[in-house]
Amino acid sequence: MRKKIIAANWKMNMTVNEADSFLDTFLLEVSEENRLDMVIIPPFTAIPRVSERLNKVQNVKVGAQNLSAEKGGAFTGEISASMLRELFVRNVIIGHSERRALYGETDAIVNKKMHTALEASLKPILCVGETLTQRDAGKVEEVLETQLKGSLAGLTAKELHETVIAYEPVWAIGTGRTASPAQAQVAHAFIRKVIEAISDHSTADKIRIQYGGSVKPDNTEALMSQPDIDGALVGGASLDPRAFSEIVKHTCKLLD
């Protein structure tokens, strides 16, 4: 059984004060929950505070939204893997579609970041997903396969075990338009097949694949009950502590 993982991608939202009041509510709501992994992924500036608070609760971890592919040096404005480790960051999102589309991150850059993160013992959440144009052109599998092979090149089976994949169809991110559970399941099963091809059956069976793209409390159960969906990467709905804890609770219902 793969343990489900629900993560909050706050993107460029939440000041330190706002993060604090989010945690005041959220941590109370989920204090009893140990059956799944929960990760809060704030902007860099709120990581120290969130990390300090989560250190006391054990059942929720802290993540980062990005990292530099470089280890250190003259890279103005960048944040290194060791700087994140120092703040007890556990997971790091790599290759989010917003970074690919707005900041020119190619599969080669994403791959370099994967290696940098794993060498520093950070656990990557690798995002892949097609645009609407690519879906309409019947290219979903081709796009996913290219992104996965490029982004995961040179990783060992052990490193793949440390990795979470997030399937995030670009057309479903922040649009309110979710992939149907069936559409998502097909993509997730395909991703697992690609992992098997580049690694082995046991690795493909163990790797966790999250769905992301307009996950809300009312569509959580249908998505999370699909056999190859192992969690959610939540943007918009993760900014509201009640909505995000509802998403956690709806997922837990499936574990009862």
Give least dist CB 95 to ligand PGA, A.
Answer: 11
Give least dist CB 206 to ligand PGA, A.
Answer: 23
CB nearer ligand PGA, residue 203 or residue 210:
210
Q: How far is the C-alpha of 244 from the C-alpha of 225, rounded, in Å?
A: 18
Active site residue 142: no
Q: Residue 145 corresponds to which amino acid?
A: E
Look up residue 180 and give its DSSP letter: P
Give least dist CB 72 to ligand PGA, A.
Answer: 28
CB nearer ligand PGA, residue 63 or residue 111:
63
In three-state secondary structure terms, 136 is: helix
Look up residue 95 and give its DSSP letter: S
Residue whose CB is nearest to ligand PGA in the complex, by number: 235
The catalytically annotated residue of 96, 105, 145, 250 is 96
The Cβ-side half-sphere exposure at 104, using a 13 Å CA radius, reads 0
Give least dist CB 173 to ligand PGA, A.
Answer: 4
Q: How far is the C-alpha of 50 from the C-alpha of 42, rounded, in Å?
A: 8
- Tokens describing residue 138: 């019947």
CB nearer ligand PGA, residue 31 or residue 175:
175
Residue carrying the six token digits 């559409």: 183
Give least dist CB 147 to ligand PGA, A.
Answer: 15
Q: Contact residues for ligand PGA (CB under 6 A)?
A: 9, 168, 173-174, 212-215, 233-237
Active site residue 96: yes
- Tokens describing residue 233: 């990467």
Residue carrying the six token digits 């656990």: 123
The catalytically annotated residue of 130, 168, 188, 250 is 168
Report the relative pairing of strands 5-9 and 37-41 from DSSP bridges.
parallel
**What one-character-per-residue DSSP string does 172-225 give?**
GTTSS-PPPHHHHHHHHHHHHHHHHHHS-HHHHHH-EEEEESS--HHHHHHHHT
CB nearer ligand PGA, residue 188 or residue 204:
188
CB nearer ligand PGA, residue 9 or residue 251:
9
Catalytic residues: 96, 168
